[in-house]
Amino acid sequence: MKLDREKLLQVKEVVEEINRHKWLQSEMVGYDVGFDKAADSWFDNYATAWVAYHLPKFGKEPVKAAKKKA
């Protein structure tokens, strides 16, 4: 399943998860890693599982990226 990052970033709970991940990552390295780096890490490592678990609550709209026409 291809996730639509832009749509997911509009979901308040996703931003909260990324901010939580940012805090944990920053604590581990001893400095603020920043939202963008934390978001990249969260999408690479946790987004698919998070969406699969929360999909019934949010529906399918924010999940699938639109197919591009060739």
Mean pLDDT of the chain: 85
What does the pLDDT look like over 22-56, one tens digit per residue?
Answer: 999 999 999 999 999 999 999 999 999 999 888 77
Longest alpha-carbon distance in the chain: 45
In the three-class reduction of DSSP (H, G, I as helix; E, B as strand; rest coil), residue 59 is classed as coil
pTM > 0.85: no
pLDDT confidence of residue 70: 46
Share of the chain above pLDDT 90, in %: 64
Q: Is the pLDDT of residue 69 over 80?
A: no
Query: Domain ranges in the chain?
Result: 5-55
pLDDT confidence of residue 62: 53
Provide the token pair at 38: 């934390």
Dihedral Cα 29, 32, 37, 42, nearest 10 deg: 70
CA 17 – CA 67 distance, rounded (Å): 26
